[in-house]
Amino acid sequence: MALDDAAVLDGAAVRRWCRLAAEALGRTRAEIDALNVFPVPDGDTGTNLHLTVIAAADALDEPPAGADPWRTLAQGALLGARGNSGVILSQVFRGLADVLGPLEAPDGASFAAALDHASVLARGAVEHPVEGTILSVLAEAAAASATVSGAGLPETARAAATGARQALGRTTGQLDVLARSGVVDAGAAGLCVVLDALVAVVTDEYPERYEIPARTAGTPPPAGEPPAPQGSGYEVMYLLDAPDGAVHTLRERLDGLGDSLVVVGGDGLWNVHVHVDDAGAAIEAGMAAGRPHRIRVTYLHAAEGPHAPHTGRAVIAVTAADGLAALFEECGARVVRREPGAVPPLAVLAEAVLAAGDEVAVLPNEPEVLALAEAAAERARDGGARIAVVPTKASVQGMAALAVHDPLRRFDEDVIEMTRAAGATRFGHLEVAAQEAVTSAGLCQPGDVLGLIEGDVAMIGAELAAVARDVLDRMLSGGGELVTLIAGRHAPPGLAAELEDLLRVRHPDVEVGVYAGDQERYPLLIGVE
């Protein structure tokens, strides 16, 4: 029996729908994964959709005070989106939120309008839309819902789901790669499950199972036709804090680097997805537009390369500065260099890891390098090596990890100790602002000195020494046994020595180490253990 239209899509119903969709995708995930041949046959579309909707459901379980459920749904999906289809689905939720969020009692007409708006937004987020995909099925679902929108919300939702199922069956004939494999589009199949779950909530009629079309025997390509290309080598995803005006340039730059480009979001927060051969360039494009974070790099194809040499254990450290490189090498690490303000080419990092030995620990030493290190490790593991990425986000954490490195320990134990030492090291640095910006400590102007702790601006000042003292006081307020100071290329002469003298007076029990790092961007790096 259908529920009253005025109640079926209130906040509680939205939460039920999202949780039911997550459960339904969990049950059908493996079947959807098996359909996944486009844009790359990596067999994870069902899993990615499942994880995306779980993230949205989790956000709805603990919404911010006074938050609109539709906005919470869209924001949770945006932050947790996985894969190409997951990012597109997050944009679908945003479209629904735009129209339905302000309404107290959505009816059939408003739902049809919301689904149409979601279809337009989702298609606009994809740089080069392709028919026979989730976009086609979403458009036909919206069109089907519009034909019965005057009949009420339950009937409109059911028409959308039925239209989507019919459109899903047609995807095989719309896209050659689907026809060759004898499958429907995996992302579109997942969308059908999400719409079926919505129908269940608004009609109070719950199916025993959600149907996923079975894979059929593929039709082989004509004789002499070359196999379908594998496409780009890496999937790169990240959240991006950037002004809306910077996204157009970012799209153009990423479009020139690869394919499967999807950028969704707004109001300063974006989710970026692209397939590229040069993962580092895709990350640098985000760095040029704003602040990328939660970076994920996934190798899309099985590696077919050399196997790791049996040369024992090694540690690889990534850095841009001559002085830091020398420090890492003195501590026994092999160094991979990167340009200041950039990330190392993934191929170079992967080759270095593979050549280093059959047991290798990698120290990224920058948040932006961490995802690349994970991707390089994945490639090297295919060559037979045991690789561990120690999640160091700063050079001082890398030095702390190296300080406890012991090649005579079992590899797993060594990695645990290095990770523990890095995690116990708080990191900070000084930076000179290049432009006006809003920070967590307030508005800064060009030339201001920024004191950052764990990546966040903690204070703004006019003099390097004064800001450095404040940063040290704050970092040591919770205690500490060892302070590491690494002076940069543009640090005033005597800055580190002045701070060392100050620490000996204020914190006589703290050991202090001073080094010349020669880093370009940061006048001073600080570590507290």
Indicate which CATH number applies to the domain containing 284. Answer: 3.30.70.1710
Cα separation, 185 vs 132, whole angstroms:
7
Describe the strand order of the beta sheet including 386-389 as a list of residue ranges.
334-337, 313-319, 359-363, 386-389
Instruction: Quote the distance between the C-alpha of residue 419 and its chain's center.
Output: 22
Is 225 a member of any domain?
A: no
Side-chain half-sphere exposure of 406, counting CA atoms within 13 A: 10
Write the pLDDT tens digit of every residue in 207-227.
888 888 865 544 444 444 434
Is 126 a member of any domain?
A: yes
Reported as type and span, the H/E element at residue 119 is: helix 108-125
Contact 280, 342 (CB under 8 A): yes
Structure tokens at 24: 């339904």
Q: Are residues 147 and 40 located together in one domain of the fold?
A: yes
What is the domain-level CATH number for residue 318? 3.40.50.10170
Cα separation, 187 vs 473, whole angstroms:
52
Cα separation, 324 vs 143, whole angstroms:
60
Q: Pick the last residue of a domain from 150, 180, 203.
A: 203
Closest CA to 375 of 304, 296, 273: 296
Cα separation, 445 vs 310, whole angstroms:
53
Q: Are residues 259 and 158 located together in one domain of the fold?
A: no
Is 208 a member of any domain?
A: no
Q: Is 340 helix (H, G, I), strand (E, B) or coil?
A: coil
What is the domain-level CATH number for residue 191? 1.25.40.340
Q: Are residues 35 and 177 located together in one domain of the fold?
A: yes
Closest CA to 362 of 280, 411, 370: 370
Q: Are residues 480 and 395 located together in one domain of the fold?
A: no
Is 93 a member of any domain?
A: yes
Residue 143: what pLDDT? 96
Describe the strand order of the beta sheet including 258-266 as a list of residue ranges.
258-266, 269-276, 234-241, 291-299
Q: Are residues 334 and 457 located together in one domain of the fold?
A: no
> How is 393-442 classified by DSSP, letter by letter?
-SHHHHHHHHHH--TTS-HHHHHHHHHHHHHT-EEEEEEE--S-EEETTE
Q: Pick the last residue of a domain from 370, 403, 423.
A: 423
Count of domains forming the chain: 4
Q: Are residues 373 and 470 located together in one domain of the fold?
A: no
Residue 383: what pLDDT? 67
Residue 215: what pLDDT? 57
Residue 231: what pLDDT? 58
Q: Are residues 444 and 383 located together in one domain of the fold?
A: no
Cα separation, 16 vs 485, whole angstroms:
53
Is 214 a member of any domain?
A: no
Question: Partners of 360 in the beta sheet?
Answer: 314, 387
Nearest 5°: phi and psi at 474? -70, -40
Q: Are residues 145 and 58 located together in one domain of the fold?
A: yes
Q: Are residues 99 and 194 located together in one domain of the fold?
A: yes
Is 45 a member of any domain?
A: yes
Under-50 pLDDT residues of the chain: 1-7, 217-229, 302-308, 310
Domain range enclosing 22: 11-203
Is 198 a member of any domain?
A: yes
Q: Pick the last residue of a domain from 423, 439, 468.
A: 423
Is 222 a member of any domain?
A: no
Task: Tell me which long-range contacts 431-436 makes (C-beta under 8 A, separation of at least 24).
Answer: 431/521, 431/522, 431/523, 432/523, 433/460
Side-chain half-sphere exposure of 459, counting CA atoms within 13 A: 19
Q: How far from 213 is each of 84, 89, 92, CA to CA, in Å?
A: 21, 20, 23
Q: Are residues 68 and 142 located together in one domain of the fold?
A: yes
Q: Are residues 131 and 175 located together in one domain of the fold?
A: yes
Q: Are residues 409 and 448 located together in one domain of the fold?
A: no
Cα dihedral value 345, 348, 354, 360, nearest 10: -60
End-to-end CA distance of the chain: 63
Cα separation, 235 vs 256, whole angstroms:
15
Residue 158: what pLDDT? 94
Residue 120: what pLDDT? 96
Structure tokens at 350: 């992967």
